[in-house]
Amino acid sequence: MSERWKTSRELLKRASGALAGGVSSPFRAKFPVPLYFHDGQGSRLEDEDGNWYIDYTLAWGPVILGHKHPALVAAYRQAAERPLIYGAEHRLEIEVAERIQAMVPCAERVAFTSSGSEAVQLALRLARAHTGRPLILKFEGHYHGWFDSVLVSHHAKLDEMGAEEAARAVPESSGQVANALENVIPLPWNRLDLLERVMAERGDQVACVIMEPWLMNSGGIEPTEGYLRAVREVAHRHGAVLIFDEIITGFRMAPGGAQSVFGVTPDLATFGKAVGGGAPLSVVAGRKEILELMFGGGVSFGGTFNGNPVSLAAAAATLEILAADGGRALRETNERGRRLMEGMRAAAARRGVKMLVNGFGAAFALHFTNTTELKSYRDVCADDAERLRQCLFGLLERGVYALPDGRFYLSLAHTDADVEETLAAVDAVLAAI
C-alpha cells in the first residue's frame, strides 16, 4: 500500500496497544486505514502525513460552518474564560432554546441532551409516556443511534428481513437484549399501504412512528410525493406520536430542517450533529404537552452535560449564522451541493458508469447500481460495494475525503472551486474504474 498514509498506519499500530480497536468508533475503522488528522481550515483537513483533503465527511455531519470558522473559534474562546460547566442554569440555555423555537416549526418546547442516540431515547420515552403504549414503528435502513431499543433492521441483510409484507425485526449487535425486538415493528419505507395495514392491526399498541425524513443513513433516499404528510395522518388517526429524527437533516437541509422544507410538522423531532457546529449537543424539540411530561408528568430524564455552556456557546454562534438573512447560507450550500451532484451524474454518464447520486444537496450519497430508482433500504442492498470502495479510494488518493458508505456532506465553507476540483477527481476516478 502507498506510503501516503505511513504515519496514520504507525499511529494506528500504537493506538491499538491502548485504545480498543485503535479507534474511538468502530464506524471509523475503515479502508485504507483510519486517518489521523491534526489540522484543518474551512473545507479542508490535513492528516498526520501532511496530505490535504477537501473534507466531505465533516466529522459525519456536525461541521456545518466548516473547520475553524472564526465565529465558532471566538465563541469557544469566550466560553473557555468562564466556568466550563455549572450543572445549573445559565442564560445561553434560554438564548439557544428560543433560537431553535424560532427556527424549527415543531419546537414549542426544547430539551438539550449531548448525543443523537441519547436524544432519540428521550423522544421514545416521551412518546411511550404520552400514549401509554409500548411499540415503536421504525423503517428499515433508518438509523436512530446505537442503543438496544432502536438498533433494529438498520443495515440487515436482505434475506434476514423476510418479505416486505412480513418484515422481521433484525438485531444489529451481539449483546443486544433480545426483548428489544419485541417492542419494534420494522417496515420498508415509502410503502404507505404496509403502514396502513400494520396500523390497522396493531395501531392501538404503537406509541410512535419514527423516521429520518430523508433517508440519509441508507444512501440519501427521498420520501415519495406526499408520503410524510400521509404518514403523519395515519399515525395521528391511530393515536401515535410522529417523530422525525432530524439528526442529519436538521440545520443542514434548511434552518428549520426537513419539516420546514416539506411543510409537515411532527409531534417530536430530534436534532444533533450540525446544531452544535461540531460541539457535542443534541436536542429534542416538539409539542409542549409532550415535553412537559418531564416536569410533573412522571417522565424521568437527566444528564450531567445537558445544556453545558461550551456546547451551547458553539450552538449560539452556529445558529446565528444559519438563521441570518432568511437562511441564505444554507440555501447556497444546498445549491452548491446539487451542482456537485449534477456534475457527478454527468461524469458518470460521460464515462459510461452506472452510478446514482441521491440526496438533497448539502448531503448526498453515491450508489454503483443497475437500479434506476431507490425508494427504500432494500433497493440499496443491490449496490456494488467493491466499486464504491474503489471509487472512494481513488478519490482519497486525489485529495477528496468522503464517508466510507459513499456519503458526502457540504459545509458553508465549501466553495465553487472545491466543487470543480472534486468533479475533476471524480471524472478521473470514474474513467479508471
Ligand X SMILES: Cc1ncc(COP(=O)(O)O)c(C=O)c1O
Q: Is 338 left (phi over 0), alpha (psi -120 to 50) or beta?
A: alpha
Query: Residue 355's beta-bridge partner residues?
Result: 368
**What does the DSSP assignment read for 352-383?**
T--EEEEE-SSEEEEEE-S-S---SHHHHTTS
Of 113, 115, 183, 218, the residue at the interface with ligand X (CB under 6 A) is: 115
Q: Contact letters (x/-) for ligand X, 245-264, by CB under 6 A? A: x-xx----------------
Contact 104, 269 (CB under 8 A): yes
Q: How many CA atoms lie within 13 A of 64 on its CB side?
A: 35
118 CB contacts (<8 Å, ≥6 apart)?
145, 282, 303
Contact 276, 315 (CB under 8 A): yes
- Which region among 96-104, 112-120, 233-241, 399-407 touches ligand X (by CB under 6 A)? 112-120
Q: Which residue number, 183 or 217, has a Cβ lying nearer to ligand X?
A: 217
Contact 355, 367 (CB under 8 A): yes
134: preceding bond cis by omega (within 30 degrees): no
- Report, in Å, the least distance between residue 230 CB and ligand X: 21
Task: Compute the 3-state secondary structure of the chain and give helix, strand, coil in percent, each to the nearest 5.
Answer: 45, 15, 40
Residues 210-229 that bind ligand X (CB under 6 A): 212, 217
Has 416 been annotated as catalytic? no
Q: Which residue number, 60 or 301, has a Cβ lying nearer to ligand X?
A: 60
State in Å, rounded, how far the first CA of the chain is from the last one.
Answer: 18
Residues 48-67 that bind ligand X (CB under 6 A): 60
- Report, in Å, the least distance between residue 141 CB and ligand X: 11
- Which region among 2-10, 111-119, 295-303, 395-403 touches ligand X (by CB under 6 A)? 111-119
- Interaction between residue 42 and ligand X (CB under 6 A): no
Q: Which residue number, 284 or 347, has a Cβ lying nearer to ligand X?
A: 284
- Interaction between residue 272 and ligand X (CB under 6 A): yes
Query: Residue 52's beta-bridge partner residues?
Result: 46
- Which region among 101-109, 240-248, 258-266, 330-338 touches ligand X (by CB under 6 A)? 240-248
**Distance between CA 7 and CA 372 in Å, rounded?**
41
Q: Which residue number, 208 or 430, has a Cβ lying nearer to ligand X?
A: 208
- Closest residue to bound ligand X by CB: 116
Residues 124-143 that bind ligand X (CB under 6 A): 143
Residues that contact ligand X, how many (by CB under 6 A): 14
* Active-site annotation holder among 273, 375, 377, 401: 273
Residues 139-168 that bind ligand X (CB under 6 A): 143-145
**Distance between CA 221 and CA 224 in Å, rounded?**
9
Task: List contacts with ligand X (CB under 6 A).
Answer: 60, 115-117, 120, 143-145, 212, 217, 245, 247-248, 272
Mind telling me the catalytic residues? 143, 245, 273
